[in-house]
Structure 1
Amino acid sequence: MTALVAIGTYVPPDRVPIESLADEFELTPMQLRVFRRYHKLGSAAHAPSLSLTELLGLAVADLRLTVEQAARIRYVLYARTFPGVVPYPLNPLHEVCRSFGLQHASAFAVGHHACASGLLAVDLAGRLLASAPPDALALVLTGEKAFTGEARFVPETSMFGEGAAACLVAASGPRDRQLSYVASLRGEFDGELEEVAGEFQRIYHDALGAAVTSAVSSAGLSLSDIALILPHNVNVVAWQRVCKRIGYPLDRVLLDHVADYGHVFCADAFLNHRTAVARGLLQPGDHYVIAAAGAGRGATFSAMVFSH
């Protein structure tokens, strides 16, 4: 049973306020107020002096891998929102592998689920490890640079933040064991953003709620068994609506970082996990859900259930 062994994170100290995007994206004063007061989005993490390679490397360094652990890593999976995250011929994934002595591992990118690709990478890592030696490990990397307009801002929805997370995965373990994974793919949203945005927003809350309840059911549990939901940090209103639809308490969704970090691409789940553990929100044996949605060449609504 796939298990999370350790999580390393890095969030830079600098922040970009929503107001700084007003001119570039032609945001009115009313739209700015809606973002701050309604969506609860005020700023996003920003690392102007760091490259993507450096961002990912800081998250891996936070894992404090031992020499023995590094030698056991068979796979390095880089889960990313966008198909291209740096200009050719740069390759931050392989640069990170060289920096941490992981050249022996098979390294590749995982995408196609946009911001839900982090969950896909964890599930894929577990599948690969199932046929590897019992002590083998996989490393899942997440985090991107907000280097284009599309990668900085989602109209009427969210701001992207810069940061990174690294998750060490094993085929089995005593804690943070994956109990289920559901990914609902919606190919009808394969189109230009302005063409599909209205319908995507209309079905968003029901579709994400359905992914959560389906994952919980697949784990043989009910929502009352779930101690915490670790969300993607798109905005607070989205989670208010999802919780209302599925009948889950909003105060058991960890939304602390929405207003401060922004939506840190595929890294949200792992950043929120780190915070939940540090604050004692997860006790041994607690069941929790990690949920995410992604849009781009279709839409994906995903959820995973774990036992802490």
Structure 2
Amino acid sequence: MGARIGLTPRQLRLFRRFHGLDQVRLDPDGTLLDLLDAAVRALPELRGNEHRIRYLLYARNTPVAVPYPLNPLHQLQERFGLAHADAFTVTQQACAASLLAVDLAGRLLADDGDPSALALVLAGEKTFTRDAQLLPETTIFAEASTACLVSADGERNRVLSYAVRQRPEFYGRPAEDPELMVRYQREYQPAMVETVQAALDQAGLELSDLALLLPHNVNQASWRMICRQLDFPVERVVLDNVTAVGHSFAADAFVNLRTALTGGALRPGDHYLIAAAGVGATFAAMVLRH
């Protein structure tokens, strides 16, 4: 991967030794439709409930993912019998867009009038350009996809709060603007800490009430520093996928949730927090009860 995107030996050592990256999941022969299709097929709860899907939201970092007139979201609708659903893409918050999509889905369902209605939230992208593969000195992007169902009520994985902090002074192209990158890296940790605390305050909880923190998989070093600032045990942060998968844009939140659930790290009633940051810049955090 390093040779493919032109990394120097020094940059490779930085990513491995300091940032904790090791493997990056890619499918060079697969399309974006293949990637999203796989996530939808892996969601057994969708079977038999297709008629209840009222909204289909696709959370994405990259504003344009395929050439016109292709539209994988519409192709998925036809493939899975969801043509009746209102479908749209959420891109405005980059890698934090999946949390925005869940919040939007909940608000749409609350106003829908049909208590049985559901929303299907998708995330996942292809790394089809060098800009989509690399954030200099910070992370290497991967190809992974996720799908989840959202309802207006229910006992599992209840959303208790959602906090967003937007910092438009960091809008631009960090890969081509070293000064912007330095300023963003300097403010990144304080902004994330502030957002996490805001989400906890909304939920009426303390850090000690959290069983887990689910990060975005940008790198391990930044989360270790954030944990020190928060005085939160790094052992309760799901960091395994930074090494094994890589940073998969807006899909990270639910990649890590899947890891936590399959590993038995969450018990009924546990509180957990999902955190994400999107270049541009958006910082977001969501508290849920399992």
What TM-score comes out, normalization by structure 2 length? 0.96
Q: Secondary structure at the match of 1:76?
A: strand
The reply on whether 1:224 has 2:208 as its aligned counterpart is yes
1:144 to 95, 101, 125: 125
Which residue pairs with 1:268 in the alignment?
252
| Deviation per residue, 1:152-171 (Å, 9 max, x gap) | 11110101100100011001
| Aligned residues between the structures | 286
| Deviation per residue, 1:89-126 (Å, 9 max, x gap) | 11011111110000000000001100000000000000
Q: Secondary structure at the match of 2:186?
A: helix
User: 1:65, 1:248 → 2: CA distance?
Assistant: 34
The reply on whether 1:95 has 2:70 as its aligned counterpart is no
Structure 1 unaligned spans of 5+ = 1-16
User: 1:186, 1:262 → 2: CA distance?
Assistant: 25
The reply on whether 1:175 has 2:156 as its aligned counterpart is yes
User: 1:79, 1:30 → 2: CA distance?
Assistant: 34
Q: Secondary structure at the match of 2:121?
A: strand
Amino acid at match of 1:60: V
What TM-score comes out, normalization by structure 1 length? 0.91
Deviation at 1:192, TM superposition (A): 3.0
Which residue pairs with 1:131 in the alignment?
111
User: 1:200, 1:97 → 2: CA distance?
Assistant: 38
Which residue pairs with 2:58 in the alignment?
78
The reply on whether 1:302 has 2:271 as its aligned counterpart is no
Q: Secondary structure at the match of 1:301?
A: strand
Q: Secondary structure at the match of 1:20?
A: coil
User: 1:67, 1:200 → 2: CA distance?
Assistant: 43
User: 2:242, 2:69 → 1: CA distance?
Assistant: 33
User: 1:51, 1:64 → 2: CA distance?
Assistant: 22
User: 1:148, 1:116 → 2: CA distance?
Assistant: 20
User: 2:90, 2:9 → 1: CA distance?
Assistant: 38
1:117 to 92, 97, 108: 97
Amino acid at match of 2:68: Y
Q: Secondary structure at the match of 2:49?
A: helix
Which residue pairs with 1:161 in the alignment?
142
**Deviates further, 150-159 or 191-200:** 191-200
Q: Secondary structure at the match of 1:142?
A: strand
Structure 1 runs of 4+ aligned residues shifted over 6 Å read none
User: 1:211, 1:245 → 2: CA distance?
Assistant: 13
User: 1:159, 1:58 → 2: CA distance?
Assistant: 22
Amino acid at match of 2:3: S
Structure 2 unaligned spans of 5+ = none
User: 1:68, 1:44 → 2: CA distance?
Assistant: 34
Q: How does 1:179-218 map to 2 (within 5 A)?
A: 179-193=160-174, 194=177, 195-218=179-202
User: 2:198, 2:47 → 1: CA distance?
Assistant: 40
2:233 to 249, 255, 260: 249
The reply on whether 1:35 has 2:18 as its aligned counterpart is no
| Deviation per residue, 1:39-67 (Å, 9 max, x gap) | 01122100112110111011000012455
Q: Secondary structure at the match of 1:85?
A: coil
Which residue pairs with 2:274 in the alignment?
290
User: 1:61, 1:87 → 2: CA distance?
Assistant: 25
Q: How does 1:52-71 map to 2 (within 5 A)?
A: 52-66=32-46, 68-71=48-51
User: 1:234, 1:101 → 2: CA distance?
Assistant: 35
User: 2:79, 2:24 → 1: CA distance?
Assistant: 28
**Percent of matched pairs sharing the same residue:** 53
